Amino acid sequence: MTTPPVRARDLGFLLHDWLDLEALLAYPHFQDHSVETVDAMLDIAGRVAADTFLTHYKAADSQEPHLVEGQVRILPAIHQALAAFAEVGMFAAPFDAEVGGLQLPQLAYSAAMAHFMAANVATSAYPMLTTGNAKLLVRYANEALVKACALPEIEGRYFGTMCLSEPQAGSSLADIATRAVPDGDDGLGARYRLFGNKMWISGGDQDASENIIHLVLAKVPGPDGKLIPGTQGISLFVVSKVLLEGSEYAGQRNDVVVAGLNHKMGYRGTANCLLNFGEGAHHRPGGLAGAVGYRVGGVGQGLPIMFQMMNSARISVGLGAAMLGYRGYRLAVDYARDRRQGRPIGARGGPPIAIIDHPDVRRLLLAQKAYAEGALALVLYCARLVDEELHGPAEGRDEAAGLLSLLTPIAKTWPSEWGLAANDLAIQVHGGYGYTRDFDVEQLYRDNRLNPIHEGTTGVQGLDLMGRKTLKDDGASLATLRHRVTATVERARHLPALADFAHVLDVTWARIGALVGHLKAAGDDVASLAQATSFLSAFGHAVVAWQWLDQAVVAGSLAATDDPDETAFRAGKLAACRFFFETEVPRVDVWLGIVGRRSDLTQTFDPAGF
């Protein structure tokens, strides 16, 4: 049995000491669970992740998915791992009991998924997409589609995808050109024939599940036969690889084919496909060309509905990025303790010392700890907000929803950028060995390099935060966040070791508030949005600084202990907080200064100069 890739105490502190899982379990929706049942589920997750996901991490990287007669074949060990995942109920864990789920809080489920993503993020992508797909269907699809698609996904028999991007459109969904032509009705609802191409589809084809459920964005032609421009014309469709029970063409192969595989630098175990819908050359359900799909929601409502899965996927990407950074950090700590090289500064002779005793190596490890554990804390905090929004007391649900919306671009981007930075430092700690394939840290870096692009690039997230979430918002969510920051500041002021950090945090957030007021008063959104990425960087660092201080308050307030391991753990939390405030928080002023100057360089520079 392999050692679980995540330390139980790291998750235990975040869940129990910091985020108060016990209070969450007091919500009526979670009454069938207890701290003990959640801890048991986490223990199972850790062991299954270690025994079935971690064990093929290297093999999945070297033996990529490949095409055999139009069918994608993936590593058999991935099949076995996903079967084990289903067997212990992990596909079902976050769903309500009425659809066959275990009704686990999103916070607990995210902590369980942390084990799998740390062990093998590429294999974890299949269930991550499947659960997001099924959640959307349970919420928005008709009863027949839920029964035909979502329930088998919850059982782990069918897998799901999200099909948004197209070769010519990329992230600009307004420019998608896939057409959905009405084709009558049958037992699954309004039926359409889809024609178009989708690119970068993770899990777009594989041979590990009985069927694949694609959620496809497409446009229904208007009365003139033309596609409606912009996002208003986008609708959402369920397109299965094999036509579903209830369909007029049940059991027939749908007109969806793999046109090619994308070979990425990381996540190599995840089949990533170019899919053609409706080419009619290989499969013609009912004797006609066109991929048969069923509409979810009304015509033109596709993008707002799809945002549920997109936002969920963004937080999941953040979790994966955090765990890649975390695993690289833990491997770097182990290596630094074992590797003996050099001597103490000023020493003349003597045996080599462990490199962890060199101050600069400790600096590298502290940075990794601050980034990786800070990223994990951020994502789990957002998972708790999901539970508060959906199942908490009615009077607090809108506040939780607003705060979650504000933090979602941070939860996606900050772990992706700074978890990657942690992976970079893990290679540095390993020295020359770090960039060889004999050690996992080089693969972890390659895997994590995809995450600043996955589910919307850093620039796209910056525009979302600066535009919709700040300049166009009424400020209520930012006020909620500021209130929570102030509560942490007030608690930290009374702890001598943290009082100075409390003052710095208070001043930092006052500067952010003043800058936001200045930008709104200026009224030049174009100039402000040109600096959106710098604003995102500053905001993200300020959020993580708040959460590190909050964790430090909790760690410093725990009951006294004689356990040396627990003493060291708490000291590590306080040291990481101190490191973040001394080394990382000063960056915030630099970024805010860039935003405040509102330079027009990137707007006015002639591209010919490149």
3-state secondary structure of 161: strand
Please tell me the number of Cα atoms within 13 Å of 152 on its side-chain side. 17
**Number of alpha carbons in the 13 Å side-chain half-sphere of residue 140:** 25
Asked if residues 251 and 309 have their Cβ atoms less than 8 Å apart, the reply is no
For residue 272, the surrounding DSSP H or E stretch is strand 272-277
| Residue 212 phi, psi dihedral angles, 5° rounding | -125, 130
| Structure tokens that stand for 535 in this block | 């604003």
Handedness of CA 526, 531, 532, 535 (dihedral sign): negative
Neighbours of 436 (CB within 10 A): 11
Compute the half-sphere exposure of residue 579: CA atoms within 13 Å on the CB side of its CA: 18
Instruction: Determine phi and psi for 163, rounding to 5 degrees.
Output: -115, 95
CA distance 504 to 500: 6
Tell me how far apart the alpha carbons of residues 597 and 531 are, in angstroms, rounded to a whole number.
Answer: 9
How many other CB atoms sit within 10 Å of the CB of residue 441? 25
**Structure tokens, 166:** 């197209």
Helices (runs of H) and strands (runs of E) counted in the chain: 21, 10
Q: Within 10 Å of residue 556's Cβ, how many Cβ atoms?
A: 17
For the chain, the maximum distance between any two Cα atoms, rounded to a whole number of angstroms, is 86
Cα separation of 480 and 506, whole Å?
Answer: 15
Residue at token pair 């059982």: 155
Q: What is the CA angle 557-8-129, rounded to 5?
A: 115
The answer for residues whose C-beta is within 8 angstroms of residue 186's C-beta and 6 or more apart is: 246, 247, 248
Burial class for 20, CB neighbours closer than 10 Å (0-12, 13-18, 19+):
middle
Give φ, ψ of 154 to 5 degrees.
-65, -30
Q: Name the catalytic one among 153, 166, 388, 455.
A: 455
> How far is CA 287 from each of CA 220, 255, 331, rounded to the nearest angstrom?
22, 10, 56
| Of 311, 309, 320, 270, residue with least CA distance to 110 | 320
Angle between helices 532-557 and 499-522 (to 10 degrees): 150
584 labelled catalytic: no
Cα(595)–Cα(533) distance, integer angstroms: 9
User: Whose structure tokens read 């003052």?
Assistant: 503
Helix (H, G, I), strand (E, B) or coil at 261: strand
The tally of CA atoms less than 13 A away on the side-chain side of residue 575 is 13
Cα–Cα distance, 213 to 596 (Å, whole number): 46
Q: Name the residues annotated as catalytic.
A: 455
